[in-house]
Amino acid sequence: MEKDLSNYRKSYEKGELLLSEVPENPLELFQKWFYEVDKHFAGDETNAMTISTLGLDGFPKNRVVLLKKYTYEGFIFYTNYNSEKGKAIDANPNVCLSFFWHGAERQIIIKGKAEKIAPNLSDGYFESRPRGSQLGAVVSNQSDVVDNRQFLESKLANLESEFEGKEIPRPVYWGGYIVKPVEMEFWQGRPNRLHDRIRYKLQDDYNWQIHRLSP
C-alpha cells in the first residue's frame, strides 16, 4: 500500500504572533488564545489536548484527553490512575501537552511535570459529572484487556442496578492530575512556512524567559 501525500499543501494566513506583543506570563497568552478559539471556531473541541508520556516499555505514547481546568499553576485533566498513562506518569512525571486548533492555525506545546491533585478536588469534579460518566469510570479498568464489549455492557448494567437511587462514590483509582509547565511554545501559522514560534522557559527565579524560534 502506498499513497503520495507530497501535494497536500495549505497556506496559513489567519494571524501573527509578535514577540513585542506577548505577555510576560505564558498562561495569560494561553487564556487569550483559548478564549479566541472557543469564541470564533466553535467546530473545534477547544479543550481537547494530546498528552505524551514515556511508557513503561520505553516507548513514548500520545493520546487525546480533555482539559478540565487551567490556572496560573497549571493544567488539570482526569483519568484512571491505574491506566497505562497513569502508570507511565507515576514512573516518569515529565509529560508533554499539545493543543492544535486547526481553524485558527494555532498550536501550543507544553512541557511540564504531572502530579495528582488533592483527593477532595477529584471528589468535587467526580460529583459534577453526569451519572453515566460516573458509572463509566467505575466500570472501566482502563487499558486492561477485555474479551468483548458485552463484558463492559453487562458490568454497566449490574452497576446501574447496584447504585439505583444511591450516590456513586469516586473510585480511589480515578482522579485528577495537574501538569505544571516548565516550558510553553506558541505556534501561529504564517505564509510560506515562515511560522511564528514563541517559546517561554521557566527560570530558577520563577520568571519566564521568552525567545522567538526559527520555524
Residue with cell 458509572: 135
131 is catalytic: no
* Closest C-alpha to 75, from 50, 54, 53: 50
Q: Helices in 10-83 by DSSP H: which ranges?
A: 26-40
Cβ-count burial 52-62 (b if 16+ within 10 Å, e if not): bbbeeeeeeee
Q: Which of 63, 131, 193, 212 is catalytic?
A: 193
CA–CA gap between residue 32 and residue 207 (Å, rounded): 20
Residue 194: exposure state from Cβ atoms within 10 A (0-12, 13-18, ≥19): exposed
> What residues are annotated to the active site?
193
